[in-house]
C-alpha cells in the first residue's frame, strides 16, 4: 500500500492540514510498515476530526489552526462524536453515537497525527496532552476450555467437503491453538515458512506492523501441517501455506465459516471463534505457570498491559503464584 502525496482516492488534498495528514499516513505505511487496515482506520478517524474542524472553525483548517487549538476544541470534537457518531458520511455508523472505545481509538489516531506534526513539521500543540482518554472497560478475553480447544483441533475438519479441506482445516486450527497465532498471521504464511516434522526450528511470524517474532512449534502442529502439505495443490516454496478452492490464499471468511459450523454442531458458545484459540493458548499457558513476559513475546503484544488482561481471566492462577512464591506464602 503506497500512500505518498495525494490521498488514496486520487484527489489532491484540499488544505495544508489534509496534505500533512496524507504525509503522516504515507509515513505510517511506508516507513513504519503499519498494517493497511490500520492506516485506513486512521484515515477515517482523522477525516472525522478535520471535517468537524471545518464546521467548528468555519473553514478548512491550516497548520496554524491546528497549532492553535485549545483543549475545549478537542473536547467539543469528542462530544460531537458521542452525540452524533462519525462525521464521515461514507461510514455505516453515521448518525449513531460513537462508543467510548471508538472515541478512544479516534483520539489515539489524532495523537499519532499530532506527534508527527511536531516531529516532522514543527507544529506543536500541548493542549492535546491535557485531554483524557475516554474511559471504558475492555471486554475480557473469552477462551475455550482445554477440552474444547483440543476438540476443535481434532474434529474441525470431520465434515469438510473433501479430504484436502479436512487436512487443511485441521492444520490451520491446530496451528492457531498450538502457536497462539492471529488468523491473519497464519493465512499470511507461505509453504517455505511451514514447520516440518523432525526439527526444532521455531516458526517465524510477521505480526502487526510487520514485526517479526519466533514461536516454538509443538510436534502435533508439525504433524498436522505435514499431513496437509501432502495434499496441498501446489506446495511450491512461495505458495500460500493455506489455500482456498481455487489455489489462492485461503479467505479468512472461510476459516470463520468452518469454525461457525463446528460451533453450531458441537453446541459451543458464540465466543468460540478462531481468535478464541489464541486467547485459549495464552490463558492455558498462564494457568500452567508460564511467565507473563514470555506470553507477551509469544503473542507479539507491543505492550505488557495487553497481555495482563489474561490474568483477570484466571485469578485463581495469581493466587497460586502468590502462595508459591511469596516469602510468607
Q: How far apart are CA 180 and CA 204, in angstroms?
A: 13
- Reply yes or no on whether 301 is catalytic: yes
Q: How far apart are CA 211 and CA 194, in angstroms?
A: 18
- Reply yes or no on whether 208 is catalytic: yes
- Reply yes or no on whether 230 is catalytic: no
The DSSP 8-state label assigned to residue 127 in this structure reads G
Pick from 154, 116, 91: which is nearest to 31 by CA? 116
List all residues 6 or more positions away from 99 whose beta carbon is below 8 Å from its beta carbon. 136
Catalytic residue, candidates 21, 43, 168, 275: 275
DSSP class per residue in 145-187: PHHHHHHHHHHTTTT-SSHHHHHHHHHHHHHHHHH---HHHHH
Catalytic residue, candidates 182, 190, 213, 260: 182
Catalytic residue, candidates 103, 278, 279, 284: 278
Q: Is the dihedral of CA 304, 305, 307, 310 positive or negative?
A: positive
Each as own residue / partner, the long-range contacts of residues 264-269 (CB below 8 Å, 24 or more positions apart, any chain) are 265/159, 266/151, 266/155, 268/144, 268/148, 269/142
Q: How far apart are CA 267 and CA 190, in angstroms?
A: 33
Catalytic residue, candidates 208, 213, 260, 309: 208
- Reply yes or no on whether 275 is catalytic: yes
The residue whose grid cell reads 507479539 is 300
Catalytic positions, please? 182, 208, 275, 278, 301, 310
Amino acid at each position: 500500500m503506497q500512500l505518498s502525496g495525494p490521498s488514496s482516492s486520487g484527489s489532491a488534498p484540499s488544505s495544508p492540514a489534509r496534505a500533512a495528514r496524507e504525509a503522516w499516513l504515507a509515513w505510517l505505511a511506508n516507513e513504519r510498515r503499519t498494517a493497511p487496515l490500520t492506516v485506513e482506520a486512521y484515515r477515517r478517524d482523522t477525516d472525522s476530526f478535520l471535517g468537524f474542524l471545518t464546521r467548528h472553525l468555519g473553514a478548512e483548517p491550516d497548520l496554524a489552526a491546528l497549532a492553535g487549538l485549545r483543549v475545549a476544541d478537542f473536547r467539543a470534537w469528542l462530544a460531537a462524536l458521542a452525540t452524533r457518531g462519525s462525521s464521515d458520511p461514507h461510514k455505516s455508523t453515521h448518525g449513531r453515537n460513537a462508543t467510548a472505545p471508538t472515541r478512544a481509538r479516534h483520539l489515539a489516531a489524532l495523537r499519532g497525527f499530532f506527534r508527527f506534526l511536531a516531529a516532522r513539521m514543527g507544529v506543536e500543540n500541548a493542549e492535546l496532552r491535557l485531554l483524557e482518554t475516554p474511559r471504558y472497560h475492555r471486554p475480557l478475553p473469552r477462551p475455550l476450555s482445554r477440552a474444547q480447544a483440543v476438540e476443535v483441533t481434532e474434529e474441525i475438519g470431520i465434515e469438510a467437503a473433501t479430504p484436502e479441506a479436512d487436512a487443511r482445516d485441521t492444520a490451520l486450527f491446530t496451528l492457531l491453538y498450538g502457536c497462539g497465532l492471529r488468523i491473519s498471521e497464519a493465512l499470511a504464511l507461505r509453504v517455505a515458512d511451514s514447520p516440518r516434522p523432525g526439527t526444532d526450528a521455531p516458526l517465524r511470524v510477521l505480526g502487526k506492523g510487520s514485526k517479526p517474532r519466533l514461536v516454538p512449534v509443538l510436534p502435533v502442529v508439525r504433524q498436522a501441517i505435514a499431513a496437509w502439505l501432502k495434499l496441498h495443490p501446489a506446495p511450491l516454496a512461495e505458495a500460500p501455506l493455506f489455500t482456498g478452492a481455487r489455489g489462492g490464499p485461503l479467505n479468512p471468511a472461510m476459516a470463520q465459516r468452518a469454525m461457525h459450523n463446528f460451533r453450531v454442531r458441537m453446541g459451543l458458545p458464540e465466543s468460540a471463534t478462531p481468535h478464541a484459540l489464541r486467547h485459549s493458548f495464552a490463558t492455558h499457558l498462564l494457568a500452567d505457570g508460564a511467565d507473563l513476559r514470555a506470553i507477551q513475546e509469544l503473542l507479539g503484544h507491543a505492550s505488557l498491559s495487553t497481555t495482563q488482561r489474561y490474568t483477570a481471566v484466571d485469578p485463581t492462577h495469581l493466587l497460586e503464584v502468590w502462595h508459591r512464591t511469596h516469602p510468607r506464602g
